[in-house]
Amino acid sequence: MDDFKELIESDHIAVFDGAMGTMLYSKGVYINRSYDELNLTNPDLVRAVHEEYVRAGAEVIETNTFTATAHKLQQYGLEGRLRDINVAAARIAREAACGRCYVAGAVGPLGLRIEPYGPTSFDEAKEMFKEQAAALLEGGVDLFVLETFSDISEMREAIRAVRELSDLPVVAQMTISLDGNTSFGTTPEVFTARLDEWGADVIGLNCGVGPATVLTAVEKMRPVTTKKLSAQPNAGLPRDVQGRQFYMCSPEYMAKYARRLIQSGVRFIGGCCGTTPAHIKMISDAVRPLSPRHTGRTGKLARAVLLEEQTPAETPVLPLEERSNWGRKIARGEFVTTVEVLPPKGCDASKTLESIRLLKQAGVDAVNIPDGPRAQTRMSAQATAVLVEREIGLESVLHYTCRDRNLLGMMSDLLGAAALGLRNLLLITGDPPKMGPYPDATAVFDIDSIGLTNMVSKLNHGLDLGNNPVGSPTSFCIGVGVNPGALNLEEEIKRFEWKVEAGAEFAITQPVFDVEQLLDFLRRIEHVRVPVVAGIWPLVSYRNAEFLHNEVPGVVVTPSIMERMRAASEKGKEAGREEGLQIARELLLDVRGAIQGVQVSAPFNNVRYALDVFEALPEFARRKEAEPAVSL
């Protein structure tokens, strides 16, 4: 039997199934009978529900045993069949999983008041839980999900019961009310700390309320524990519609909140009352791009991932050096050069193209075209890149962000870019709209740069995100951004590891002003090293240095450089410009031996200023001497 603990220890985001009761009710099983008994009387129906969730993308399915404890079964005269019901439930779920996902033994509260609120003792409660847990173990579960508990003391006895029988992982999930606390008044901070202390492997929330309230509680739970978090909210609160109860949250709404929950630290996501395979399918599709591949999985789940992620034999990935000139130089270890030039503000690209023509004449390998930097409104970066390649014949490195398009729009854009002959991509998350002139504009962010890297890598294998063939595979050279000066460097390195795992083939840094900082970063990513292109920004004034340092995310100008620019700028504009140029040349020479290329930014789109930086490189200096002067 596979070890679910490997999944817990990874950074993979796993999807649980949704509601069992909701589905059984929708298939004509009314609430006046025991749903647990169906494991014996109608196993095909239970199996069919499990199979729907597996097809929807669930990686963990729960047994149909939420109320299969002695006291609750007694209400139907079924207490004598407790073992049979739980064993059968586990076996039905395993058959439905068919080696593609984990089976979790679902255990709910006893339906009894335990001390000090009622006559049932702690030990009595523990023994009741043990009876059910033993039967689920006999049936062959991979883990236990203790869910929908309001009484923290009752949850403690459930954990004790499982631990006395097995060392299988335990997912412990409390349920909260609209005020964010349990019905006993326990706050998320308190019960999270207790569950951590009592040895739960995953701590979470389920049922009770919709995703918005769960998100608020998760944000309080995250600082209290280092354990992985789970969330399985209801599809909102039920509404009475002509005597029937309906859950109103759509699959799209649940998927939207699934992404928010993941961004808040949740690693196991699913649904509870009111959620269906349609909800889980939307959640699974939303989660897949956000999740790094978990290479440590073995056995049944590994086979599932292999089935999902394998590439068709007829569509092998084109070698990097055959995709573009940029890719060829990267693959061969040659030093590459590029200049970042902003797209034009309007629809007339003639001036921008004329400046970029100077780059080709100077021998620069490519031009970087940013995609709405600082949320400014400019011509489409993709359109600009096509104009550059068709009219000038210089390769572009097209920046592509997640900010402005949903998954469908991004897929369409990327397929279109491939059809238009664009080959080199720099995949970045994108600056939020609040930085630009339209702060109320909507930011989409269906996925981040890690998910986008996964998407492009799949396209290079001839597949879309749903693993559907797209015909001829794309031939993109996949680049990602990286910030050696990030405030949370550990998180930056972790995200870079995920990007490389997702398929990144080169990286371009934020502008570098601290050589030692860059060299230290390169040492720390040596285990996942891909070719790194350093960003160089030639400062033009002290004011420019202040702006970059204080208002451009991820850019840190060192105090010594700030002082040099201050002193030079006091002498005049030209002195400031020359000092900034000298600093850029020094930085380029200092990092040259540790990197595989350089991207020089063109301040205020002044391409000539960027070209002046390259004169620090011997090969450019010799080229300039050998060729006729370019008229500027």
Beta-carbon contacts of residue 317 (< 8 Å; ≥ 6 apart)? 311, 460, 461, 473
pLDDT at 379 over 80: yes
pLDDT at 532 over 90: yes
Mean pLDDT of 186-202: 95
The CATH fold of domain 5-309: TIM Barrel (3.20.20)
Number of H helices, E strands in the chain: 25, 18
pLDDT at 479 over 70: yes
What percent of the chain clears pLDDT 90, i.e. is strictly above it?
65
What percent of the chain clears pLDDT 70, i.e. is strictly above it?
89
What is each CA distance from 568 to 203, 513, 557, 580, 606, in whole angstroms?
57, 17, 16, 9, 20
What is the pLDDT confidence band of residue 427, given thresholds at 50, 70 and 90? very high
pLDDT at 375 over 80: no
Report strand pairing: 244-247 vs 238-241. Answer: antiparallel
Mean pLDDT of 202-209: 93
- What per-residue confidence (pLDDT) applies to 299? 35
pLDDT at 516 over 70: yes
What is the pLDDT confidence band of residue 304, given thresholds at 50, 70 and 90? very low
DSSP state, residue 317: P
Q: What is the mean pLDDT of the chain?
A: 88
- What per-residue confidence (pLDDT) applies to 621? 62
pLDDT at 194 over 80: yes
Q: What CATH code would you report for 320-539+596-624?
A: 3.20.20.220
- What per-residue confidence (pLDDT) applies to 302? 36
For residues 248 and 25, the model is more confident at 25
Q: Give which of 491, 499, 490, 382 is closest to 429, Cα–Cα.
A: 499
- What per-residue confidence (pLDDT) applies to 311? 40
Task: Count CB neighbours of 75 within 10 A.
Answer: 11
Q: Integer distance in angstroms from the first to the last C-alpha of the chain?
A: 71
Cα torsion 521, 527, 528, 529: sign: positive
Give the pair of three-digit tokens for residue 4.
């679910």
Beta bridge partners of 62: 104
Model confidence pLDDT, tens digit, residues 20-56: 988 998 888 877 789 999 999 999 999 999 999 999 9
pLDDT at 297 over 50: no
- What per-residue confidence (pLDDT) applies to 632? 34
Domain layout of the chain by residue ranges = 5-309, 320-539+596-624
Q: Give which of 1, 51, 523, 2 is closest to 294, Cα–Cα.
A: 2
Whether the ω angle into residue 618 lies within 30 degrees of 0, i.e. cis, is no
Task: Report which listed range, 126-140, 259-273, 358-372, 554-568, is most confident.
Answer: 126-140
pLDDT at 388 over 60: yes
Model confidence pLDDT, tens digit, residues 61-114: 999 999 999 999 999 999 999 999 999 999 999 999 988 899 999 999 999 888
- What per-residue confidence (pLDDT) applies to 268? 96
Mean pLDDT of 285-301: 54
Mean pLDDT of 431-458: 76
- What per-residue confidence (pLDDT) applies to 625? 57
What is the pLDDT confidence band of residue 374, given thresholds at 50, 70 and 90? low
- 29-43, 161-175, 319-333: least confident range: 29-43
Mean pLDDT of 561-577: 94
What is the DSSP secondary-structure string of 275-313? --HHHHHHHHHHHGGGS---TT--HHHHHHHHHHHPPPT
What pTM value is reported for the model?
A: 0.57
User: How many angstroms separate the CA atoms of 285 and 630, rounded?
Assistant: 52
Packed helices 152-165 and 188-197: angle between N→C axes, nearest 10 degrees? 20
pLDDT at 306 over 60: no
- What per-residue confidence (pLDDT) applies to 403? 81
What is each CA distance from 391 to 338, 387, 423, 484, 597, in whole angstroms?
18, 6, 16, 35, 25
- Backbone angles phi and psi of 5, in degrees to 5: -65, -30
Mean pLDDT of 571-589: 95
- 43-47, 407-411, 609-613: least confident range: 407-411
